[in-house]
Amino acid sequence: MASKAYLVMDQGADFSATITLTDDAGNLINIKDFTGRSQFRKSYTSSNYKEFGISLDSNTSTITLTMNSANTANVVAGRYVYDLEVISSANVVSRLLEGILTVTPQVTK
């Protein structure tokens, strides 16, 4: 079962969220040879989506989701659903994180 996390993105600003992957005992999870993917949508059934940039660091067991300011400026302010999946070298897909993403409106343009 995926962990749940609430994310906030400021429209028009660079976005970055880093997740450290640990097991129930607090040990770092090995993510060597994994890739990742993450999308957000207005609803679970929406066909329109945006993708986060993903970087995985196997030394620190962290995954960082990113989106630059030019792209966040084009996201309509509001509430979205998102998830983060990793794919092993054996092509096994696991959902690690899911939740709500709130995009706050930009005033200065």
User: 13-48, pLDDT tens digit by residue?
Assistant: 999 999 998 888 999 988 999 999 999 999 999 999
1 pLDDT above the threshold of 80: no
Contact 41, 61 (CB under 8 A): no
Whether 65 maps to a domain, the answer reads yes
Whether 56 maps to a domain, the answer reads yes
Whether 94 maps to a domain, the answer reads yes
Q: Tokens 């660079």 correspond to what residue?
A: 14
4 pLDDT above the threshold of 80: yes
CATH assignment at residue 48: 2.60.40.10
The model's pTM: 0.90
The total number of structural domains in the chain stands at 1
Whether 100 maps to a domain, the answer reads yes
Whether 109 maps to a domain, the answer reads no
pLDDT for 109 equals 81
Whether 52 maps to a domain, the answer reads yes
User: 43 CB contacts (<8 Å, ≥6 apart)?
Assistant: 81
Residues of the domain holding 31: 3-104
The β-bridge partners of 19 are 63
List C-alpha distances in Å: 1 to 46, 71, 96. Answer: 22, 30, 7
pLDDT digits 0-9 by tens, 40-89: 999 999 999 999 999 999 999 999 999 999 999 999 999 999 999 999 99
Whether 78 maps to a domain, the answer reads yes
pLDDT for 80 equals 98
